[in-house]
Chain A
Amino acid sequence: GEDVEQSLFLSVREGDSSVINCTYTDSSSTYLYWYKQEPGAGLQLLTYIFSNMDMKQDQRLTVLLNKKDKHLSLRIADTQTGDSAIYFCAERLSYNQGGKLIFGQGTELSVKP
């Protein structure tokens, strides 16, 4: 079946690194995404990784993908208070399955000064 799991909460201190983890079940996923949602706002696309890649780095963000274990992580270096938000992991199903996104429950990141 299609399922994406994330831990619900993460609390870090300003300046530390944050690591948000995600597991997914569908091995036919084509892309995996990270979205950020601030209170009262929409979903902001942070970064994404193609399923045949292991790692992608984009400024303070590093995405690691372990396809064998179906595990995805998002590392935020030098976490700032402005990074406090809910982070959603999403897998994109294959075109034959509609290409829809399956989202995790979201991880609420709290950054303490």
Chain B
Amino acid sequence: DSGVTQTPKHLITATGQRVTLRCSPRSGDLSVYWYQQSLDQGLQFLIQYYNGEERAKGNILERFSAQQFPDLHSELNLSSLELGDSALYFCASSLGRDQPQHFGDGTRLSIL
């Protein structure tokens, strides 16, 4: 158990819809990272937050947004969903910038 909690584990929805994925980092970790894992793209970094502030952006679509709240949990919002958004979305957390990232079990998003 990594200590990173992601909910829900599975999400099935339709094209055009909007969903919110939630992540609770390990106790004490200030950094939260979001990654997308798909068959064609592999594991891709989306975005990072540190203590509530956005720190780095990767290959995140404009239809996607995220935030980190004062209690350090984070949410990834995906809107106007397309079939290609079907993937496993991981959250990871670390104590600081030079500390290892620990991953949650992911949210599997299926778009029908």
Q: A residues engaging B (CB < 8 A)?
A: 30-31, 33, 35, 41-45, 48, 88, 90, 95, 98-106
Complex A-B, nearest 9 residue pairs according to Cβ-Cβ distance, in ascending order: A98-B56, A42-B105, A103-B43, A43-B103, A100-B45, A42-B103, A99-B97, A42-B106, A95-B97
- The complex places the Cα of A98 from the Cα of B57 at a distance, in Å, of 8
Q: B residues engaging A (CB < 8 A)?
A: 2, 33, 35, 42-43, 45, 48, 55-58, 90, 92, 97-98, 100-106
Kindly provide the distance from the CB of A38 to the nearest chain B CB, expressed in whole angstroms.
Answer: 11
23 A-B residue pairs with Cβ-Cβ distance under 8 Å, sorted by A, are A30-B98, A33-B100, A33-B101, A35-B103, A42-B2, A42-B105, A43-B92, A44-B2, A44-B103, A45-B2, A45-B100, A88-B43, A90-B43, A98-B55, A98-B58, A100-B33, A100-B48, A101-B43, A101-B101, A102-B45, A103-B43, A105-B42, A106-B43
Contacts of B2 in A (CB 8 A): 42, 44-45
Tell me the interface secondary structure of chain B in the complex. Answer: strand
Of chain B, the residue at the smallest CB distance from A99 is: B97
Contacts of A103 in B (CB 8 A): 42-43
- The complex places the Cα of A102 from the Cα of B59 at a distance, in Å, of 12
Contacts of B105 in A (CB 8 A): 41-42
- The complex places the Cα of A55 from the Cα of B92 at a distance, in Å, of 26
Q: Which of A31, A88, A100 contacts B100 (CB 8 A)?
A: A31
